[in-house]
Structure 1
Amino acid sequence: MSPKVMLQLVVFSLVFTMFTAHQARGEKDCYQQRDLVKRDCDKTIKINEPYKPPTAECIGAVKLSDMVCICRILTPDDEKEISVPKLLRLAEECNRPVPVGSKCGYVKSDMNFVS
């Protein structure tokens, strides 16, 4: 095999590996972050309760978390415990806003902060 063909095969293999490795990573895992925010911010985002200002622990949890990812992985069971609009408000107040139009649980965020 000529060196040129060998080099082309190596380059192709590297490019192929890069693309398959990227696909294998898939969706980011932020389930622990979701659980941390749910635990530390329960009084702020609890469904059927008034919105309460976040505690220092809650703010810390939000600042350490990928709020877009958390929104994307919310399940219907999560939404029985927490209010998505309150979660969006909390993210905004902690300077970790979820972009308008992002999927947050089973709703698209439009940043209307209702309870």
Structure 2
Amino acid sequence: MAQLIKTCFLLLAFTIITASLFADNASADCDNDWTQLSDKCTAFAKKGIEPTLPSDDCCQTIAQADLVCACSKVTPDTENNISVPLAIMVASFCGHSLPHGTHCGSVVVP
């Protein structure tokens, strides 16, 4: 019985450690997606500019990114410089619409 408890405890500990490693990787991936999107697509969603079609490079970045996670990184400071509705339209133009109800900063995707 003691051996079974010990085995169960080790299995539980292994599961928790593995889950935390995957969570850290997901967070790092999201940070990387945010950086790549900022680098490649900001020019197409800046406030106060005439909207232009996004570049192929921007659309490829959007295709590879976790957009829902990236939306979770939008802060009020980000919204001072970026038009979130325009950014959502850029993603849609590139063929990667955000799911309805996604919170992207202060905007909820209709």
Same fold judged by TM-score > 0.5?
yes
Are 2:46 and 2:81, in contact at CA under 8 Å, matched by a contact in 1? yes
Deviant stretches of 4+, over 6 Å: none
Residue identity over aligned pairs, in percent, reads 25
**Bigger helix fraction:** 2
Q: Which secondary structure does the structure 2 equivalent of 1:47 belong to?
A: coil
Unaligned runs of 5+ in 2: none
User: Which of the two has higher C-alpha Rg?
Assistant: 1
Are 2:62 and 2:94, in contact at CA under 8 Å, matched by a contact in 1? yes
Asked whether 1:36 is paired with 2:6, we answer no
1:86 shift after superposition = 1.3
Asked whether 1:91 is paired with 2:88, we answer no
What is the root-mean-square deviation of aligned Cα atoms in Å?
Answer: 2.2
State the AA in 1 paired with 2:109. S
Unaligned runs of 5+ in 1: 111-115
Q: Which secondary structure does the structure 1 equivalent of 2:33 belong to?
A: helix
Count, aligned residues: 107
1:5 shift after superposition = 3.1
Q: TM-score, normalised by structure 2?
A: 0.78
CA distance in 2: counterparts of 1:48 and 1:80, whole angstroms:
11
